[in-house]
A and B are shown apart, each in its own frame.
Chain A
Amino acid sequence: MQAIAFRAAAMRFALPTTQVLQVLPDCVTRPLAMAPPAVTGLIRYGRALIPVVDLGLLLGKTAAAMRRSTRLLVVRINTPKPLVFALRAEEVLDLIDIGAKTGGVPQPRHRWLGDHILDDAETPQLIRAEELLPDELRALYVADAGNEP
């Protein structure tokens, strides 16, 4: 099993490829009124508008820098209906094997922070995409889950 490795707030993370629909180049987002701080706006994906979550902002740090390697990971989660959103992160350049893992330090307040991959030198932390959306956004989003592209 593989994961897409990337960086946010100078830390290495990874997301299993099974949850990623597509990787897109970074682009200008359409601002979303009253959006939670980590949501930078909306982008068009197929025939739907999907929210873009900046992982750096979600970590309480700075937004991803505008670099060529900064990309958008289009993620699909099934909780309980399928939801699609984009995750903005830096250095989205490679896939890594998810081999041995360890739980690391439990962070119950941030359930989206998962296990660490031990096979990579930087021990990237796996992201639990289904826990990633801010609660207020998830509430709105689930209410209007007709965003399947």
Chain B
Amino acid sequence: MERLSSAGHTVAARLSAIRDEAAQITSVVTTISKVADQTNLLSINAAIEAEKAGEQGLGFLVLAREIRRLADQTAVATLDIEQMVKQMQGAVSAGVMEIDRFSEEVKSGIVSVGRINGQSSQIISQVRTLSDRFDAVNDGMRSQNVGTRQIGEAMTQLIDGARQTSTSLREFNSATESLRDAVTTLKQEITQFNVGK
């Protein structure tokens, strides 16, 4: 990211240099334009003088016209150059603005990456401390597992006990029934031995 930022600065500096060069071209074009204007003015004044000279000035009149034409062509060409330089300056200015914006974004990116880096370090450190806790939790779970198994075995034993108790109760019930039958039989037999008053 820092290399990207540095490259952005370099491009911005070069665009700035191009802008300065364009300004110098504009200055030269202005000078050429002024020279063309002065040449045009001179040729007009030369033509006025040639006209006053009458027949003798005719050749000079033609010369003045040609000079004026050249001056006009120069002026038109300088206008074209001026226009091109203006377009170039516009493009360079837009480029410089874009690079500045890009640079700012890269800077902000560097800050964000730094912040994320710090946060990642904190997370890693916190995860490291969690490892010990995970071991403790693991041990606890292992103990819980043993305990659960023991509870299971105890429950099996309890079920067996309950089953035996049920069987015993059923036997006890049967014995009670037999006893009740015996008592009934006994009661009937006793009735036979009943002596009236």
Contacts and interface: CB of A to CB of B under 8 A. Distances in A.
Interface in B47-71: 47-48, 51-52, 61, 65, 68
A18 B51 contact: yes
Nearest to B64: A95
Interface string A1-30: 110100000000000011011110100000
A74 B37 CA distance: 18
A1 B33 CA distance: 30
A67 B113 CA distance: 57
A22 B43 CA distance: 11
Given A93-B40, A93-B72, A23 B52 contact: no
Contacts of B72: 93-94
Contacts of B68: 93-95
A71 B47 contact: no
Category for how many chain B residues contact A: 10 to 19
Contact of B44 (A18, A23, A68): A23
Interface in A39-92: 68-69, 71, 92
A4 B46 CA distance: 12
SS class of chain A's interface: helix, strand, loop or mixed?
strand
B79 to A, nearest CB: 11
B58 to A, nearest CB: 11
Interface in B6-52: 33, 37, 40-41, 44-45, 47-48, 51-52
B44 A92 contact: yes
A126 to B, nearest CB: 15
Contacts, number: 38
A23 to B, nearest CB: 5
Contacts of B52: 17-18
Contacts of A2: 47, 51, 61
Contacts of A92: 44
22 contacts: A1-B51, A2-B47, A2-B61, A4-B44, A4-B48, A17-B51, A18-B51, A20-B48, A21-B48, A22-B45, A22-B48, A23-B41, A23-B44, A25-B37, A68-B33, A68-B37, A69-B37, A92-B44, A93-B68, A94-B68, A95-B44, A95-B47
Interface string B64-95: 01001000100000000000000000000000
A20 B46 CA distance: 12
Nearest to B44: A23
